[in-house]
């Protein structure tokens, strides 16, 4: 049995916390700015068949030095793992806040969308084994205490910095597979992150700007007019940045498949905008614009999407 610590108990974090709590000790790390007098996090998880309620204990920051993250419990607690589900822009601040309590041997697994936050954490935590995860599990929050497991998917975990290894990725997968969700170790997690980034870049800002579910994109003239150029820009950036060779038609086919499979979904970016929350546009289009600039190439379609979503977020008109 392992101790699984969860930082960022949003919809996805709650899904994993619930599913892992049947076999492991799961503890929720409360955010520094969200001090709670409660002993734990109460919520229900609804999937296709059932709705189950959970009470998972908080790991209060004040007890962290003596808690399961502490070095001195290492012998009695052979396996402790930290899963991070914060929004991309919250990830480095949230991890930095608990860094003094985080012994170097504890693996950190990052579940963020986009790219950028993983790179920042990899640099800021060079002594910790840092892993990145890519997941296609669908979860959303109906109310603050009611999580819906909207669609089953797959999850890949791979080493993201020098301290992380494939053997460590396999160990993390063995723990996470006890959730009953599909998990595999991935040697080239960077490529998977880039492929997901490309999909998110095509779907998220478009649905945010058009205020529509994913499945409506192919019938939206605004989307169809920009789709080919957008894919060409993505293909060129991926080729120059990570040396990945693909064609815009192949990329389109992958994006079309995700649109079909998630047709009813309201993308995470549109959900954020509708709820008046900060979006992950910086780690999706913002990251791509920066990479293109470094490669001295223009990406006018991605840049426009980036600026338009930033403007939408400022005016709050969705």
Active centre residues (catalytic): 196
In whole angstroms, what separates CA 282 from the centre of its chain?
A: 14
Minimum CB distance to ligand PAF, residue 214 (Å)? 5
CB closer to ligand PAF out of 31 and 87 = 87
Please answer whether residues 40 and 55 qualify as being in contact, where contact means their C-beta atoms are separated by less than 8 angstroms.
yes
Is residue 81 close enough to count as binding ligand PAF by CB under 6 A? Answer: no
Which of 268, 279, 301, 318: binder of ligand PAF (CB under 6 A)? 268
Helix, strand, coil percentages in the chain from 3-state DSSP, rounded to 5: 50, 20, 35
CB closer to ligand PAF out of 9 and 139 = 139
Instruction: Check residue 96 and give left, alpha or beta (phi > 0: left; psi -120 to 50: alpha).
Output: alpha
d(C-alpha 90, C-alpha 46), whole Å: 26
Minimum CB distance to ligand PAF, residue 258 (Å)? 5
CB closer to ligand PAF out of 240 and 258 = 258
Which of 2, 3, 21, 262: binder of ligand PAF (CB under 6 A)? 262
Size of the site for ligand PAF (CB under 6 A): 11
Is residue 155 close enough to count as binding ligand PAF by CB under 6 A? Answer: no
CB closer to ligand PAF out of 91 and 204 = 204
Strands of the 3-7 sheet, one edge to the other:
25-29, 3-7, 80-84, 108-110, 130-135, 154-159, 182-185
Q: What does the block give as tokens for 215?
A: 């499945």
In whole angstroms, what separates CA 192 from the centre of its chain?
A: 12
Give the CA-trace dihedral at 19, 24, 25, 31, to 10 degrees.
-50
Region near ligand PAF per CB under 6 A, out of 13-21, 168-176, 182-190, 261-269:
261-269
Minimum CB distance to ligand PAF, residue 154 (Å)? 12
Strand partners, 7: 29, 84
Is residue 3 close enough to count as binding ligand PAF by CB under 6 A? Answer: no
CB closer to ligand PAF out of 32 and 253 = 253
d(C-alpha 190, C-alpha 184), whole Å: 15
Q: Mask of contacts with ligand PAF, 99-138, x by CB under 6 A?
A: --------------x-------------------------
Please answer whether residues 155 and 181 qualify as being in contact, where contact means their C-beta atoms are separated by less than 8 angstroms.
yes
Q: How many CB atoms lie within 10 A of CB 225?
A: 11
Minimum CB distance to ligand PAF, residue 260 (Å)? 11
CB closer to ligand PAF out of 69 and 203 = 203
Q: Mask of contacts with ligand PAF, 181-220, x by CB under 6 A?
A: ------------------xx--xx---------x------
Q: What is the 3-state secondary structure (H, E, C) of 232-246?
A: HHHHHHHHHHHCCCC
Q: Where does this chain bind ligand PAF (CB under 6 A)?
A: 113, 199-200, 203-204, 214, 258, 262, 265, 267-268
């Amino acid at each position: 049995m392992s101790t699984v610590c969860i930082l960022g108990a949003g919809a996805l974090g709650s899904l994993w916390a619930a599913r892992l709590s049947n076999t492991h000790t799961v503890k929720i790390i409360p955010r520094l700015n969200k001090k709670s007098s409660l002993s734990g996090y109460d919520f229900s998880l609804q999937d296709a068949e059932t709705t189950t309620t959970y009470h998972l204990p908080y790991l209060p920051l004040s007890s962290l030095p003596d808690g399961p993250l502490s070095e001195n419990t290492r012998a009695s607690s052979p396996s402790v793992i930290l899963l991070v589900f914060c929004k991309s822009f919250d990830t480095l601040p949230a991890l930095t806040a608990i860094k003094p309590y985080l012994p170097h041997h504890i693996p950190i697994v990052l579940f963020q969308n986009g790219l950028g936050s993983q790179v920042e954490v990899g640099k800021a935590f060079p002594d910790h084994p840092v892993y990145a995860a890519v997941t296609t599990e669908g979860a959303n929050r109906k109310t603050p205490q009611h999580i819906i497991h909207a669609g089953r998917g797959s999850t890949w975990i791979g080493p993201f910095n020098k301290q992380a290894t494939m053997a460590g990725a396999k160990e993390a997968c063995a723990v996470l597979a006890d959730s009953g969700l599909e998990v595999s170790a991935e040697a080239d997690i960077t490529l998977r992150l880039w492929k997901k980034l490309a999909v998110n870049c095509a779907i998220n800002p478009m649905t945010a700007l058009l205020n529509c579910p994913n499945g409506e994109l192919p019938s939206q003239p605004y989307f169809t007019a920009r789709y080919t150029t957008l894919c060409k820009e993505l293909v060129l950036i991926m080729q120059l940045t990570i040396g990945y060779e693909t064609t815009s038609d192949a990329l389109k086919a992958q994006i079309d498949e995700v649109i079909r499979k998630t047709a009813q979904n309201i993308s995470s970016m549109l959900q954020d905008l509708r709820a008046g929350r900060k979006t992950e546009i910086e780690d999706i289009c913002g990251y791509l614009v920066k990479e293109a600039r470094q490669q001295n190439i223009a990406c006018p379609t991605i840049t426009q999407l980036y600026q338009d979503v930033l403007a939408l977020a400022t005016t709050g008109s969705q």
